[in-house]
Amino acid sequence: MTSLHNNLFGLTLQELSDFAERIGEKRYRGKQLFDWIYAKDASSFAEMTSLAKSFRELLEQHASLERVEIVQRQRSHGDATTKFLVKLHDGLHVESVLIPPRLAFRGHEADHEEEQRRLTLCISSQAGCALDCKFCATATMGFLRNLTVGEIVGQVMQVRREAHRPITNIVFMGMGEPMMNFDNVMKAVDILTTGLNIAARRITVSTAGRADKIRLMAESGCKAKLAVSLHSAVDETRTMLMPINKKFNLAELMSALEYYHAKTRKRVTYEYIFFGGVNDSDYEVAQLVKLARRVPCKVNIIPFHSIAFTGVGGLGASLKPSTRMNAIADRLRAAHLSVFVRSSAGEDIDAACGQLAVKTEEEYARQVRLSTRRSGSTIPV
Ligand code: SF4
């Protein structure tokens, strides 16, 4: 792959206008480039036929349009969720997951919830992750690096080409902690909304609890939705499941969320997995009810997904699903909380929540062969 020098893919409108100026052109050329790159999805400068030939020649000399590449696809034979292995510019890989409509929720939420009509793409913001949440496969990879803006936006644009229909919702719930790549994630949200025309209210940034960055997001004017992986409203339990709670405990997290709500007037989504014998006691649920009353919110209950395939040890290996999940959902509803029970999407291809961990391309190819043999299906989205 060629060098990233002056790679225009991933630049914001402001940055493209600055670039145009740097090479001696008028700033409005930046807007033309922005439209060609994102709205019109041009792969080369030659395709940008509304630009003067001399300008296109200048671009050929000074710039490139380098995107990430989808190198493998794996489709769930159970529910048509598709996992994409995405190759980055330096040869590292991340995963993105396309979740078809009517799969986000189950039960009566699936009948009524508007999100059921949406095509959702779950994208990664980092290669690996440093946060070591005990239920998460990505944590077993360690942290490799932050993704660039182009690598984040590129996941959406490359998958969109293969999906042959509009991706309506984006969730930053793939690999990595988006708030630890804050600037690039915010720029990517800007491009997704202004360049790809995806409404900010259909984009969700999910954090494990970086209270400092929640405050920054509140101040940034970013209109994307905020989700917090909560998993316990008791400090001791949460620290055990999510070591980040040592640095940003529940008091700090809630103070940041109150600030966020005061600034944005938006409600927060709490993501919650109930683990048997860990966070599903009556006391834990009572604490959750208390905490959830502090800021307008909804609670998304995510089914347990095994990460045994990573060979994880310690607490991660001993976690098991709670048998009380539905009873807890009812109890939360009885406390007048807004509760949704999410479906398991793509568990058979290790694409469900918490299961993303990059394998080699060879290992992917082996899994694709196996799942195709099992289902008799081909891979296209
Ligand atoms: S759940 Fe998110 S923040 Fe926690 S280790 Fe996994 S990728 Fe990182």
pLDDT value for 374: 42
Q: Which residues of 302-330 are buried (b: 16+ CB within 10 A; e: fewer)?
A: bbbbbbeebebeeebeebeebebbeebbe
Rounded Cα–Cα distance for residues 179 and 176 (Å): 9
Minimal-distance CA residue to ligand 1 atom 4: 133
* Cβ 133 under 6 angstroms from ligand 1: yes
Residue 105 has pLDDT above 80, yes or no: no
Select from 248, 262, 237, 171 the least CA-distant residue to 208. 248
State both tokens at 358: 């990059």
* Cβ 241 under 6 angstroms from ligand 1: no
Taking residue 26's Cβ as centre, other Cβ atoms within 10 Å add up to: 12
**Confidence bin at 31 (pLDDT 50/70/90):** very high
**Confidence bin at 27 (pLDDT 50/70/90):** very high
pLDDT value for 150: 98
CATH code of the domain containing 152: 3.20.20.70
Residue 160 CA to its chain's centroid (Å): 15
Catalytic position from the list 25, 66, 95, 177: 95
**Ligand 1 mean position, distance from CA 48 (Å):** 40
What is the tally of structural domains in the chain?
2
In a domain, 369, yes or no: no
Select from 125, 150, 189, 148 the least CA-distant residue to 66. 150
Question: For residues 108 and 140, which has the higher predicted lDDT (pLDDT)?
Answer: 140
In a domain, 195, yes or no: yes
pLDDT above 70: percentage of residues in the chain: 86
In a domain, 324, yes or no: yes
Average pLDDT over every residue of 253-271: 98
pLDDT value for 357: 73
Catalytic position from the list 122, 222, 297, 353: 353
Q: Same domain for 27 and 114?
A: no
Q: Same domain for 96 and 239?
A: yes
Q: Is 353 a catalytic residue?
A: yes
Per-residue model confidence as pLDDT tens digits over 319-354: 999 999 999 999 999 999 999 998 776 767 676 667
pLDDT value for 2: 40
CATH code of the domain containing 25: 1.10.150.530
* Cβ 244 under 6 angstroms from ligand 1: no
Q: Same domain for 216 and 300?
A: yes
What's the whole-number average pLDDT of the chain? Answer: 89
Residue 368 has pLDDT above 70, yes or no: no
In a domain, 125, yes or no: yes
Q: Same domain for 117 and 55?
A: no
In a domain, 287, yes or no: yes
Select from 134, 104, 106 the least CA-distant residue to 326. 106
Please tell me the pTM assigned to this model. Answer: 0.90
Q: Same domain for 30 and 132?
A: no
Residue 24: which domain range? Answer: 13-62
